[in-house]
Amino acid sequence: MATLLLAEQVFTPLDAIHNGAILIEGSTIVAVGDRTCIDLPANTKTIDFGNAVLAPGLIDLHVHGGAGHDVMEASDSSLSVIERHMARHGVTSYCPTTVTAPITKTLDSLNGLATNIESSSKHDATRARPLGIHLEGPFLSHAKRGVHPPSLLQPASIELFERMWQAATGHINLLTIAPEIEGAIDLISQATRRGIRVSLGHSDADLAQAQAGIATGARHATHTFNAMRALDHRQPGLLGPVLTDNSLTADIIVDGIHVDPVVVNLFVRAKGIAGAVLITDAISATGMPDGTYTLGDLVVQVREGRCESGGRLAGSVLTLDRAVRNTTQFANIPLLHAIRMASFNPARVLGLESRKGLLAPGADADITAFTNSGEVRQTIIGGLIT
């Protein structure tokens, strides 16, 4: 049976449609437009969301955990809790993200995450769906490692990456790497040939090293400003091309803690609506009270929204819907554009923009209903409405 969704506003999110409608058949969108212009099959069910905004489901490229669990636990029981928590905040798809850990533990986690990805089509409508694994570490700079354990960082070894690729049964789709470390250029080239999206981050690269990584195939940047060499007017480092090169997209943590609101405004102006991506970098403490939590094997103290391990920031407790609302305020942009940064743009980073992050015929029926102020009213995953 077909289902027609109606709302005062539909954000595709490349455009806004007043008094819009979305026609769904099964798990696929078959029509989007003005409600008076869509031909309806017989026995179509209609759901009217009134003055809501219907938009693509949000996509988070950088998630370490939530609701008391870490993705590196990699069990269905833990991942289901994380995925349900994200869905309540409008997220329909995400990339479970690793943190630097002993190699054996990383391989075990990659294998468990791959199993979850392969079974995700059978998950119920309350769980955000994993798109692929984001490998953050161990190929990072010691100087800009953040909280990643220094003793566990590795040179960029193709042999080690191959072991990880095999453990993940090919489900790695995003790799964060520092382009200046030993072996990085060869690994960026290898990963790019496999269709993996390479993101530059946790890096102390100078301008030439950053440009070499981009020339080899890197097309994205990880949590811009954080764990990067600071911008200098004579030695711009990685931030120079991140902010000025239109071939790069870049993500940012908009929680008001990792990056000052004024700098968020600067970032959005530099990257433009098409080049900016919102992420959470959320850890197990997300959605939980203040206290002690973990990020991989790291102990993290959480107080008033700030996550620290050993005096350093260690992820966040940000949710992606909150990041959207914060961005409208910090960058003074409309909700339409902020939603694009958390839906279509991350889908484009992964090369999935024809079926994810977009309300259009042929796209997956992953839809989030928002209030006009960006609060989540309902999340629809794979056309399943609960």
pLDDT score recorded for residue 41: 87
pLDDT score recorded for residue 386: 67
Question: What are the Cα distances from residue 317, in Å, to 8, 92, 137, 187?
Answer: 32, 18, 20, 32
> Crossing angle of helices 184-193/158-167, nearest 10°?
40
Find the mean pLDDT for residues 55-62.
Answer: 98
Instruction: Count Cβ atoms below 10 Å from residue 51 Cβ, excluding itself.
Output: 9
Distant-in-sequence, close-in-space partners of 62: CB < 8 Å, separation ≥ 6: 95, 97, 134, 136, 222, 223, 251, 279, 280, 281, 282
3-state DSSP of 366-379: CEEEECCCCCEEEE
Domains of the chain listed by start with CATH number = 2-53+372-380 (2.30.40.10), 58-356 (3.20.20.140)
Cα–Cα distance measured from residue 219 to residue 211, given in angstroms and rounded to the nearest whole number: 11
Q: What is the pTM of this model?
A: 0.98
Taking a C-beta distance cutoff of 8 angstroms, is the pair 82, 71 a contact? Answer: yes
**Gyration radius of the chain's alpha carbons:** 20
Cα–Cα–Cα angle for 276, 64, 301, rounded to 5 degrees = 110
Cα–Cα distance measured from residue 53 to residue 324, given in angstroms and rounded to the nearest whole number: 14
Find the mean pLDDT for residues 97-109.
Answer: 97
* Chain CA centroid to CA 257, Å: 18
Cα–Cα distance measured from residue 311 to residue 329, given in angstroms and rounded to the nearest whole number: 29
pLDDT score recorded for residue 36: 86
Q: 19: alpha, beta or left, given left = phi > 0 and alpha = psi -120 to 50? A: left
Cα–Cα distance measured from residue 325 to residue 281, given in angstroms and rounded to the nearest whole number: 16
Indicate whether 309 pLDDT > 70: yes
Indicate whether 10 pLDDT > 70: yes
Find the mean pLDDT for residues 8-28.
Answer: 97
Model confidence over 154-183: pLDDT tens digits? 999 999 999 999 999 999 999 999 999 999
Cα–Cα distance measured from residue 107 to residue 195, given in angstroms and rounded to the nearest whole number: 20
Nearest to 274 by CA among 343, 228, 201: 343
Cα–Cα distance measured from residue 251 to residue 314, given in angstroms and rounded to the nearest whole number: 17
Find the mean pLDDT for residues 369-383.
Answer: 97
Model confidence over 345-366: pLDDT tens digits? 999 999 999 999 999 999 999 9
Taking a C-beta distance cutoff of 8 angstroms, is the pair 83, 382 a contact? Answer: no
Distant-in-sequence, close-in-space partners of 26: CB < 8 Å, separation ≥ 6: 365, 383
Comparing 122 with 17, which gets the higher pLDDT? 17
pLDDT score recorded for residue 224: 98
Model confidence over 31-58: pLDDT tens digits? 999 988 888 888 899 999 999 999 999 9
Stretch among 86-90, 188-192, 249-253, 296-300 having the lowest mean pLDDT: 296-300
Instruction: Count Cβ atoms below 10 Å from residue 49 Cβ, excluding itself.
Output: 19
pLDDT score recorded for residue 307: 97
Which one is catalytic: 206, 251, 281, 364? Answer: 281
Find the mean pLDDT for residues 75-81.
Answer: 97
177-202 b/e (C-beta count within 10 Å ≥ 16 → b): bbbbbebbbebbebbbeeebbbbbbb
Taking a C-beta distance cutoff of 8 angstroms, is the pair 379, 368 a contact? Answer: yes
Question: What are the Cα distances from residue 325, in Å, to 181, 333, 335, 373?
Answer: 36, 10, 7, 7
Find the mean pLDDT for residues 307-321.
Answer: 96
The overall average pLDDT reported for the chain is 97
Going by pLDDT thresholds of 50, 70 and 90, the confidence category of residue 385 is: confident
**Active-site residue 281, yes or no?**
yes
Indicate whether 3 pLDDT > 70: yes
Share of the chain above pLDDT 70, in %: 100
